Amino acid sequence: MTAFSQTVALPPGTPAQAGLAVLLPALADLYRDLHAHPELSMQENRTADLVAAALRAQGWDVTEGVGRTGVVGVLHNGDGPVVLLRADMDGLPVREDTGLDYASTDTGIDPDGVTVPVMHACGHDVHVTCLLGAAALYAADRSLWRGTLVVVFQPGEETAQGARAMVDDGFVERFPRPDVCLGQHVGPFPAGTIVTRPGTLMAAADSFRIRLFGRGGHGSAPEHTVDPIVMGSAVVGRLQAVVSREVAAGDSAVVTVGSFHSGHKENIIPDEAELKINVRTFDPQVRNRVLPAIRRVVNAEAAASGAPKDPEFSPLNDFPLTVNDEAATERVVAALAGAFGSDRILPMPRPLAGSEDFGVFATAAGCPSVFWHFGGADPAAFAHLDLTATAALALPEGVPTNHSPQFAPVIDPTLETGVRALLAAAAAWNAAS
Amino acid sequence: MTAFSQTVALPPGTPAQAGLAVLLPALADLYRDLHAHPELSMQENRTADLVAAALRAQGWDVTEGVGRTGVVGVLHNGDGPVVLLRADMDGLPVREDTGLDYASTDTGIDPDGVTVPVMHACGHDVHVTCLLGAAALYAADRSLWRGTLVVVFQPGEETAQGARAMVDDGFVERFPRPDVCLGQHVGPFPAGTIVTRPGTLMAAADSFRIRLFGRGGHGSAPEHTVDPIVMGSAVVGRLQAVVSREVAAGDSAVVTVGSFHSGHKENIIPDEAELKINVRTFDPQVRNRVLPAIRRVVNAEAAASGAPKDPEFSPLNDFPLTVNDEAATERVVAALAGAFGSDRILPMPRPLAGSEDFGVFATAAGCPSVFWHFGGADPAAFAHLDLTATAALALPEGVPTNHSPQFAPVIDPTLETGVRALLAAAAAWNAAS
Amino acid sequence: MTAFSQTVALPPGTPAQAGLAVLLPALADLYRDLHAHPELSMQENRTADLVAAALRAQGWDVTEGVGRTGVVGVLHNGDGPVVLLRADMDGLPVREDTGLDYASTDTGIDPDGVTVPVMHACGHDVHVTCLLGAAALYAADRSLWRGTLVVVFQPGEETAQGARAMVDDGFVERFPRPDVCLGQHVGPFPAGTIVTRPGTLMAAADSFRIRLFGRGGHGSAPEHTVDPIVMGSAVVGRLQAVVSREVAAGDSAVVTVGSFHSGHKENIIPDEAELKINVRTFDPQVRNRVLPAIRRVVNAEAAASGAPKDPEFSPLNDFPLTVNDEAATERVVAALAGAFGSDRILPMPRPLAGSEDFGVFATAAGCPSVFWHFGGADPAAFAHLDLTATAALALPEGVPTNHSPQFAPVIDPTLETGVRALLAAAAAWNAAS
Amino acid sequence: MTAFSQTVALPPGTPAQAGLAVLLPALADLYRDLHAHPELSMQENRTADLVAAALRAQGWDVTEGVGRTGVVGVLHNGDGPVVLLRADMDGLPVREDTGLDYASTDTGIDPDGVTVPVMHACGHDVHVTCLLGAAALYAADRSLWRGTLVVVFQPGEETAQGARAMVDDGFVERFPRPDVCLGQHVGPFPAGTIVTRPGTLMAAADSFRIRLFGRGGHGSAPEHTVDPIVMGSAVVGRLQAVVSREVAAGDSAVVTVGSFHSGHKENIIPDEAELKINVRTFDPQVRNRVLPAIRRVVNAEAAASGAPKDPEFSPLNDFPLTVNDEAATERVVAALAGAFGSDRILPMPRPLAGSEDFGVFATAAGCPSVFWHFGGADPAAFAHLDLTATAALALPEGVPTNHSPQFAPVIDPTLETGVRALLAAAAAWNAAS
């Protein structure tokens, strides 16, 4: 690891342009190392150590253990705005199937104590690498910018725990309060392109577990029981109407029952059923309608069955909406278009149904935020597509998406794009000139 | 009608055996006349006039207008038990399709004010004819019996109104209190046979209308509405589990939603849905479980939909269980076997799902009752069947059932069997010797 | 009617500005007359006569009876583009409840032969009035424009019949082929404002009737039947998942079962159930997914019930998507902003779920089309709202929407706005200068 | 074990009456030993060894390993009928909770390789003990009977495997063909009583596993998936109507979905759902209607979902109807009434919903069979009940049923009743006099 803290630091005074050329091979090595050694959410110890060592070698003021494994770097450069740049660090319990020579074979121990394979199947290794690259350039070339930079390496994004853990650990009070929060995510877009939109960018997600209580008994005597499988099935059926009848055309919500478990033997009626539900919404008003409607349906179906006990709802996790400030996004898009050419900045025609906890920082700090996606897929796969407008959401056959066991961003030009996008976006606030 | 009052009366002293031979052609004429002129429930004016005139001509003490159109005849013959014999008089709103030359072409005005065709599709014309025949024989031959006879010609059986109307009109107080109530029904069994069983003979039936309240609106904007068609459909779906999960194997219940009406235009979400429900049970405990369960399900599904108002339940009609007293049935079966030969008395293997309000009289009077079915179908259709045990419920292809537009009992030997069955069953109590 | 043909015509040479001032009182009278005498779809005889007489008095070349009651006027003014302007003429079977002194008390005979109240509950009387006003100004002031104008007064928009009937009657071949089609609709927006958007403006609507075939029988013996109410309820329940599971977040579809009818009596299981379904979509791909999915669900639920016969689908009506050509809309919006000030042109944030058959003309003619909504509601009701962006879809409490028995556009400035909007939009193509 | 083979054998010539008095303490010891050492289905090795040793010590001609662990004993005594007496030997994977000092603490390895607690929770230890007792008496007292006795100790009744395994292993061909098969089961009736009925005594049971195939994907994008949880829930909902609409009042069926498993994480739509279904019927015609109806519903619901692959049905087990031959049952009941007094022979008012594979032997041999239940519960618990007629099915609060972890038959008079019932019932065929 010492190696990386050396190689991803530049001599003070190295101009950014030249520095980037020097850095890129080292960043590629770092990326391959991170990719080979992913860690589960809130257990990003090796990654955090590596990040902290590198930041220190570059000259940042580093704080570790913020929200368990989070790392924060601060760098001052005279008067000027405070810009926050964020990367997330965690991998996923997925068995890698990329065939890469730097593929992960590591395992981790999940919250239930089970040993599971781990993979950087969501590209957070790319995020860490790019932000460390940008940090190196900022630290080496003070002529580039002014004000204060705060770099955040966040744990536990996949479980919606990390950003909140850092805020709960005093993030806002302990570090310079940002004027803007910037973040990025690699995805199945052509490498070299950047995709974003003002307003709602990604869905809010609310997940919870529901226990439905029946009364078990012999399979031949249902009259002495309250059948939780009939109850749970009625819940699932009836929840469809929450989406189909309570969400307006033009609004959207997704209500997924991802898990239904009840019973073991065919001739025994079980006592309980357990459902796990995930809800995606893009608008707080829709969310405020859908969540209580689900609860209403579940309670009513338990009543319809004559359940001996009310259903039990327990939260699993919840992600806020990711909303790009309109004015700030305009600044970022203009800056990115300036840096990359406007043909590489693709408008996103509508929000993604995926979710992020990036918004937690800006909400806590009371400042605007902007988030963007950048491509990690081989551009050749998109050659036949017109990448304007809605094509930004086209997914060619065979391009693996995030969370897939085959997810494997191409290193070049993905890393370079990610580093330069951070610098360009921040420059819309802190450019020295 | 004068004609019938003459022809179905016998000179005093005519012995029963000889009287029956004389009577049968007149009863056949009477039957054809009744069949051609059916009347809707609680509107049996012509029939009641005809019955009252005939009874008076025979010498009975007659009271008319009991429970609107009911007729009661009383005849005393010294000391002895009081035996009640009952026939029902009403027809059905069915367009006759028997092709008989005495088929009905009459119409009536139903409770909604609509003109409808009327048919004796349930054989109550047979019941009236047989009871008037028995009445003639009793009146003519006092040597046959002792005690008191009460003959009841009841209105409105089909709507479960008539027996209750007569009881509400003071039946128990105004007439001799019976020691036993006897009644019979013609059905799709071989003519000449009699079918019954001790204990539960026919189902209880409870019918009600449910109004489900939603909130209407434009078909393109369900989010502003509470869709009563989705609500009603969920009710129908969920009611199936009342039968499938709350009624034990070995018990039985039938829950039928016979009518579902909501909305007019495809692009307007209506305000309400109306369901009509009919419930058959064979056991008070099952009934006490099923009826509240239906209410529970309906209320819960309204809650699941977020209904602005609770569902409204209004009763349509209810029939009691028809239960044959065990000891009294044994007496009746023995008497019938003596009169007809035991091979013509078929055991009924289990209760019928049809319903009757005959039980209202015995319940009000606090006495046992016995009810039996007798065949009206051409015996040739059953030639290939073994009519013992369960075969009593076999229905050969092409034999029309009660309520069918083709229901047409054969006159011979149906009428004779019905007359003799009444005399034989009553004789188990009031035989003179 | 003669009166109107006189009063809504102007002396040749009257400048538009002056002409409008003169015309407005006459248009208001005409409007009140039309409002008081609405006619059902495809029966717009009085309205068509009045329109034809007025156009002739103004100097247009008039053809009547195009697609039954449609009226087409043509006016040439030298070389230049052909611009089509369209109004629809039919009322609705709604009992007016506006309390206006010119409220309709007229009735009509609907396609089932039933006499029904009729009301201009959708504002087509406003459309006719405004287009006749614009026609008068065009005819009087030839200095205003060049090329050819085609004014179309269409029957049967509410039933999706009229535009197709005119096209089927040779509209494209018999009249000058338009370079652009323009149309407008009055709605519950502040009077004086105009609302539109490029791209999809209004939903496609597909409506059909489904007959589900069961097998009827006695309510106590479901085992001899196939219960169509259980079948229909399962269809309704399962259709919810077409929307909730087969339409992506960000896309939209509405599937409404607006009518469910089966059975009459609680104790008779009926033979059939009839559903009427209305489907709204905003994208041909979504429509191509949803319509077959509905058919798949209906057929499968019939199979699940063991139906003796496949369900029967019969179309009721279908409306195409209303799609505003991007470039043409840009021209129209610019022209309207020039005429009214840009603060009175409100962007529509997303498509409306309502539907129109206006698109049929442009599709048949192979030209672009633009449609816009203009306000008919008292602006005072919107005083507290910020009418930018999404507020264009805000509906203050108490403002009646189209199809409501209370729908009553304010005459001023609604009529003037409608007339001027037509002139301004067309001028983007045919302005003389 | 040697001990038992000594103690449950009697000196030749011991009269039955005296022999029973001697045997009972030894049988009680044997019972406690068997109870403490239960074995899982088809693994009854220790029990089979013990049985075979005891039978040999008594003088029977013994064959082991019939259908894996089955034991058959044959004894000839001159001319006369061949009577088969059957006991089953297996325990259940239940953790005993009786508090008895001879409670089981043994474990076994189930078919999935999992170590599970084992308990004689269904009383098969009583059956083995009683049949060995009867065998001892038969062997010692040849004056009691004539003809041939076949005693069958069957494995794997709980899994419906054992009787079939023995028949498949040549049971009918290898041993004397019985004229009648007799069997008994201990249950929650008052100890000392015997309960049975002619005709159907216990239900047929058919169990199977259903795999429903969907297409998995991200929880936020159901449009790319076929949701197997929605599909499975629709199956469960729709199956209720098989019972409620396709089984006549008076007939019975129970369709239980005892297990529903699909998915793991809330935000991942799984690929499959697995249901386990158990069906109880009491009549082959009902069974022949219900089983195909289930298959029809499952296939149709898969089609409604647009499943990429047909559902997969795999049988888990099936039990035949247990039907008591009418004439043979009359003989048995008369014999039992003679032996015990008629007040201790309780009629069973209707079939039990539980199931047995006893019928397999008689079906294979083509002879009549009779099965009865005998009480194992403390009679004090029933003191307040009238044990005639339907009371035979009354279960007082606190009396544990078969399969309960608290199931603990009282030893006295249960064992004596079981031994004497076998002798008395068989004597209806093979009494020496």
Q: Average pLDDT of C49-61?
A: 97
- Residues A179 and A55 occupy one common structural domain: yes
Sorting pLDDT into bands at 50, 70 and 90, what band is C6? confident
Mutation choice for B interface testing from D240, D254, D348 by most B CBs within 10 A: D240
Say whether D244 and B243 touch across the interface (CB within 8 A).
yes
The answer to whether the beta carbons of residues B52 and B70 sit under 8 Å apart is no
Please tell me which of the candidates C243, C250, C254 has its beta carbon nearest to residue A351.
C250
Q: Where is the domain boundary, C295, C318, C341? A: C318
From C210-224, D57-71, D77-91, the region with the lowest mean pLDDT: C210-224
In a domain, B8, yes or no: no
Q: Average pLDDT of C392-408?
A: 82
Q: What is the distance in angstroms between the Cα of C295 and the nearest Cα belonging to chain A?
A: 17
What integer pLDDT is reported at residue B168 of this predicted model? 97
In a domain, D10, yes or no: no
The answer to whether the beta carbons of residues C276 and C259 sit under 8 Å apart is yes
Mutation choice for D interface testing from C244, C246, C252 by most D CBs within 10 A: C246
Say whether A254 and D229 touch across the interface (CB within 8 A).
no
Closest to B175 measured CA to CA, from B187, B186, B166, B165: B166
* pLDDT tens per residue across span C206-249: 999 999 999 988 899 999 899 999 999 999 999 999 999 999 99
Query: Which position has the token pair 């079966």?
Result: B333
Sorting pLDDT into bands at 50, 70 and 90, what band is C267? confident
Say whether C300 and D296 touch across the interface (CB within 8 A).
no
- Residues B96 and B184 occupy one common structural domain: yes
Residue of C nearest to A253 (CA): C249
Beta-carbon contacts of A99 under 8 Å, excluding residues fewer than 6 positions away, are none
Q: Average pLDDT of C302-329?
A: 96
Instruction: Round to whole Å and give the CA distance between C99 and C105.
Output: 11
Provide the pairing of β-strand C194-196 with C369-377. Answer: antiparallel
Say whether D223 and C238 touch across the interface (CB within 8 A).
no
The two tokens of residue A43 are 């257990």
Say whether B269 and C258 touch across the interface (CB within 8 A).
yes
Instruction: Round to whole Å and give the CA distance between D31 and D126.
Output: 6
What CATH number is associated with residue B298?
Answer: 3.30.70.360
Query: Which position has the token pair 């060894």?
Result: D49
In a domain, D222, yes or no: yes
The answer to whether the beta carbons of residues D131 and D50 sit under 8 Å apart is no
Query: Which position has the token pair 């078990």?
Result: A216
Closest to C291 measured CA to CA, from C283, D230, D269: C283
- Residues D197 and D337 occupy one common structural domain: yes
Phi-psi region of A179 (alpha: psi -120 to 50; beta: other; left: phi over 0): alpha
The answer to whether the beta carbons of residues D376 and D410 sit under 8 Å apart is yes
Query: Which position has the token pair 């690498």?
Result: A129
- Residues C214 and C342 occupy one common structural domain: no
Say whether A304 and B238 touch across the interface (CB within 8 A).
yes
Sorting pLDDT into bands at 50, 70 and 90, what band is B317? very high
- Residues C261 and C163 occupy one common structural domain: no
Please tell me which of the candidates C219, C258, C353 has its beta carbon nearest to residue B278.
C219
Closest to C255 measured CA to CA, from C277, C288, C275, C235: C277
Q: What is the distance in angstroms between the Cα of B276 and the nearest Cα belonging to chain C?
A: 5
Residue type, B332: V
Phi, psi of D65 (to 5 degrees): 70, 25
Distance of CA C11 to the CA centre of its chain: 33
In a domain, D40, yes or no: yes
Closest to D261 measured CA to CA, from A273, A95, B186: A273
The answer to whether the beta carbons of residues C178 and C364 sit under 8 Å apart is no
In a domain, B5, yes or no: no
Does the pLDDT at position D219 exceed 50?
yes
A–B CB contacts, 8 A cutoff, strictly below: 68
User: Which residues in chain D are closer than 8 Å to C246, comparing Cβ atoms?
Assistant: 222-223
- Residues C66 and C122 occupy one common structural domain: yes
- Residues A24 and A159 occupy one common structural domain: yes
What integer pLDDT is reported at residue C298 of this predicted model? 98
Q: Which residue has the higher pLDDT, C218 or A52?
A: A52
What integer pLDDT is reported at residue D229 of this predicted model? 98
- Given CA atoms D16, D17, D21, D22 in this order, what sign does their dihedral have? negative
* pLDDT tens per residue across span A319-350: 999 999 999 999 999 999 999 999 999 988 88
What is the rounded (10 degree) CA torsion for A29, A30, A31, A35?
A: 100
Sorting pLDDT into bands at 50, 70 and 90, what band is B217? confident
Q: Where is the domain boundary, A275, A298, A318? A: A318
Domain that holds residue D118: 16-202+321-430
What integer pLDDT is reported at residue D392 of this predicted model? 52
Return the DSSP state at A405: T
Instruction: Round to whole Å and give the CA distance between C180 and C166.
Output: 17
CA atoms within 13 A on the CB side of A83: 27
In a domain, B29, yes or no: yes
What integer pLDDT is reported at residue A398 of this predicted model? 81
User: Which residues in chain A are closer than 8 Å to C250, comparing Cβ atoms?
Assistant: 252, 282, 350-351, 353
Q: Count Cβ atoms below 10 Å from residue D316 Cβ, excluding itself.
A: 17
Instruction: Round to whole Å and give the CA distance between A150 and A85.
Output: 6
The two tokens of residue C209 are 């009737």
Sorting pLDDT into bands at 50, 70 and 90, what band is B316? very high
What CATH number is associated with residue B407?
Answer: 3.40.630.10
Say whether C258 and B230 touch across the interface (CB within 8 A).
no
CA angle in degrees (0–180, nearest 5) for D46-D50-D55: 150
Instruction: Round to whole Å and give the CA distance between A116 and A106.
Output: 9
- Residues B293 and B328 occupy one common structural domain: no
Question: What is the end-to-end Cα distance of chain A in Å, rounded?
Answer: 36
B239 three-state secondary structure: helix
Touching partners of B (3+ C-beta pairs < 8 Å)? A, C, D
Q: What is the distance in angstroms between the Cα of D300 and the nearest Cα belonging to chain A?
A: 16
Q: Average pLDDT of D92-114?
A: 93
Please tell me which of the candidates A208, A265, A280 has its beta carbon nearest to residue D220.
A280
Phi-psi region of D372 (alpha: psi -120 to 50; beta: other; left: phi over 0): beta
What integer pLDDT is reported at residue B393 of this predicted model? 63
Mutation choice for D interface testing from C230, C305, C310 by most D CBs within 10 A: C305
Instruction: Round to whole Å and give the CA distance between A42 and B395.
Output: 73
User: Which residues in chain C are closer than 8 Å to A253, comparing Cβ atoms?
Assistant: 249
Instruction: Round to whole Å and give the CA distance between B360 and B277.
Output: 22
Say whether A248 and B306 touch across the interface (CB within 8 A).
no
ipTM here: 0.86
Q: Average pLDDT of B274-289?
A: 96
Mutation choice for D interface testing from A112, A220, A297 by most D CBs within 10 A: A220
Say whether C270 and B258 touch across the interface (CB within 8 A).
yes
Q: Average pLDDT of C64-79?
A: 97
For helices B124-140 and B45-58, angle between their N-to-C axes, nearest 10 degrees:
10
* pLDDT tens per residue across span D232-266: 999 999 999 999 999 999 999 999 999 999 998 89
Distance of CA D365 to the CA centre of its chain: 19
Q: Count Cβ atoms below 10 Å from residue D112 Cβ, excluding itself.
A: 6
Max Cα separation, chain B?
82
Residues in chain D: 433
Q: Average pLDDT of C75-91?
A: 97
Sorting pLDDT into bands at 50, 70 and 90, what band is D395? confident
Q: Average pLDDT of A379-406?
A: 76
In a domain, C10, yes or no: no
- Residues B228 and B169 occupy one common structural domain: no
> Distances in Å between the alpha carbon of C116 and those of B219, C200, C317?
21, 34, 20
Q: What is the distance in angstroms between the Cα of D283 and the nearest Cα belonging to chain B?
A: 12
Kindly report the average pLDDT of chain B as a whole number. Answer: 94
What integer pLDDT is reported at residue D390 of this predicted model? 47
Please tell me which of the candidates D230, D249, D306 has its beta carbon nearest to residue C220.
D249
> Distances in Å between the alpha carbon of A162 and those of A70, A169, B338?
8, 10, 92
Sorting pLDDT into bands at 50, 70 and 90, what band is B390? very low
In a domain, D163, yes or no: yes
Instruction: Round to whole Å and give the CA distance between D219 and B218.
Output: 31
From A157-166, A394-403, C365-374, C401-410, the region with the lowest mean pLDDT: A394-403
- Residues B241 and B326 occupy one common structural domain: no
Q: Average pLDDT of C11-26?
A: 94
* pLDDT tens per residue across span C112-165: 888 999 999 999 999 999 999 999 999 999 999 999 999 999 999 999 999 999
- Residues A43 and A192 occupy one common structural domain: yes
Say whether D237 and B237 touch across the interface (CB within 8 A).
yes
Say whether B229 and C236 touch across the interface (CB within 8 A).
yes
The total of structural domains in chain B comes to 2
pTM, two decimals, is: 0.89
Percent of chain D with pLDDT over 90: 85
Q: Where is the domain boundary, B318, B350, B369? A: B318
Mutation choice for B interface testing from C206, C218, C224, C322 by most B CBs within 10 A: C218
What integer pLDDT is reported at residue D230 of this predicted model? 98
What integer pLDDT is reported at residue B180 of this predicted model? 98
Q: Which helix (H) or strand (E) holds D307?
A: none
- Residues D250 and D314 occupy one common structural domain: yes
